Amino acid sequence: MSELDLRDKRVCVTGGAGFLGSYVIDRLHRRGCTQVSVPRKKDFDLRDRAQVRRMLEAVRPDVLIHLAAVVGGIGANRDNPGSFFFDNLVMGAELIDQARLLKVPKVVTIGTICAYPKHTPVPFHEDALWDGYPEETNAPYGIAKKALLVMSQAYRQQYGMNAIYLLPVNLYGPRDNFDPASSHVIPALIKKCIDAREAGHDFIEVWGDGSPSREFLHARDAAEGIVLATERYDDPEPVNLGTGEEITIKALAELIAELTGYDGELRWNPAQPNGQPRRRLSTERALDRFGFRARTALADGLKETIVWYEHQRAGA
């Protein structure tokens, strides 16, 4: 297995100032990579071809890691399907095409678990990506990101671009987004439980009926997987990044309530959408191709995230 030495490489990380990006930057620095560029939204609109080209010409990266995305939970996806589709598709397409024109040696694109069909057999194998339509509430986002896999493979075939594509499962951890309007399930539940605990509320409302399952990957582990793939993986096939373990939303909510010290009722609202019925990944390809295995147990990661969030609240 050949390995790319990142210490002397110029690495550009779109979305590097975001949640996952901050962990990727940390991993790169731990590898001794000193030439890391993070384009900021205020300086470059990645949907604009001229601005993407100007950014890449300024950096001249040896490696482009594309993390930037417009994301959110079920509610945000349901309210913004058009912008989620357009922004994610165009950002990725412009970056990949300009990287081709400027002959960037390696492009790493981060996809989404939402690209899988709604009723994918568990565990999700990468070969099942095209076996059906994604879950409806986040299909526009998932399809936009999946189109970048097709583009990466097509550009490899026609232009010889070394473009790889990774599929991280649901992420969580310190520094996550806790805004109720756009957060995912773990930060949303942590905030609800702590708010209710401090206000003395008897119950919190939780969307759906609690029956769906999800798999959660600490953002620190996801970042390690991304950097390992950047160093060691050069093939066209997409690769899952996950733990291979699932938990029902009901069990997750009960665990978060316990860890936050909230002893009120969890009141389920089945009028709100459940989302995809189950999620659990096959993780063999990542282990086989570049030696990635997640290290953080869910309970430990949740405790760490809760402690971080409570410190942030106290500071605020």
CA dist 167 and 148 (Å) reads 12
pLDDT computed for residue 1 by the predictor:
52
Q: Average pLDDT for residues 270-287, to the nearest whole number?
A: 92
Question: Which tokens go with 249?
Answer: 């939303």
Q: How many other C-beta atoms lie within 10 A of the C-beta of residue 227?
A: 24
What's residue 24's pLDDT? Answer: 98
- Encoded amino acid at 230, one letter: T
Q: Kindly give, in sequence order, each residue whose CB lies less than 8 Å from that of residue 154, ignoring residues fewer than 6 positions away.
A: none
- Give me the number of domains the chain comprises: 1
Rounded mean pLDDT of 192-209? Answer: 96
In a domain, 22, yes or no: yes
Residue 262 covered by a domain: no
Specify the 3-state DSSP secondary structure of 28: helix
Of 23, 141, 262, 309, which residue is the catalytic one? 141
Task: Tell me if 270 is assigned to some domain.
Answer: no
Tell whether the model's pLDDT for residue 249 goes beyond 80: yes
Q: For strand 247-248 and strand 213-214, is the pairing parallel, antiparallel, or unpaired? A: antiparallel
Distances (CA, A) of 144 to 15, 147, 226: 17, 5, 20
> Which pLDDT does position 168 carry in this prediction?
97
Is the model's pLDDT at 73 over the cut of 80?
no
CB 14 within 8 A of CB 67: yes
Residue listed under structure tokens 């089945």: 270
Asked, for residue 84, whether it belongs to a domain, the answer is yes
Q: Is the dihedral of CA 65, 14, 66, 107 positive or negative?
A: negative
Domain with 122, as residue range(s), is 7-172+218-244+280-295
pLDDT tens by residue, 125-134: 999 999 999 9
Mean pLDDT of the chain: 95
196 occurs within a structural domain = no
Confidence of residue 316 (pLDDT cuts 50, 70, 90): low
Identify whether the C-beta of residue 294 lies closer than 8 Å to the C-beta of residue 248.
no
306 lies in a domain? no
Residue 259 phi/psi, 5-degree rounding, is -70, -25
Q: What is the pLDDT of residue 94?
A: 98
Q: Is residue 151 part of a domain?
A: yes
Express each pLDDT in 15-55 by its tens digit: 999 999 999 999 999 999 999 999 998 999 999 999 999 99
Cα(120)–Cα(123) distance, integer angstroms: 8
Closest by CA to 247, choosing from 270, 273, 226, 217, is 217
Residue 310 is assigned to a structural domain of this protein = no
Write out pLDDT tens, residues 136-189. 988 999 999 999 999 999 999 999 999 999 999 999 999 999 998 888 899 999
Radius of gyration of the chain (CA): 19
Active site residue 141: yes
Cβ atoms 243, 283 nearer than 8 A: yes
Q: What count of residues does the chain have?
A: 316
Instruction: For the beta carbon of residue 277, count every other beta carbon within 10 angstroms.
Output: 13
Task: Select from 217, 213, 195 the least CA-distant residue to 204.
Answer: 195
Over range 218-241, report the average pLDDT. 98
DSSP element (H, E) containing 266: strand 265-269
The CATH number linked to 90 is 3.40.50.720
With beta carbons less than 8 A apart as the criterion, state whether 190 and 305 touch: yes
More confident residue, 86 or 138: 86
* 261 contacts 197 by C-beta, under 8 angstroms: yes
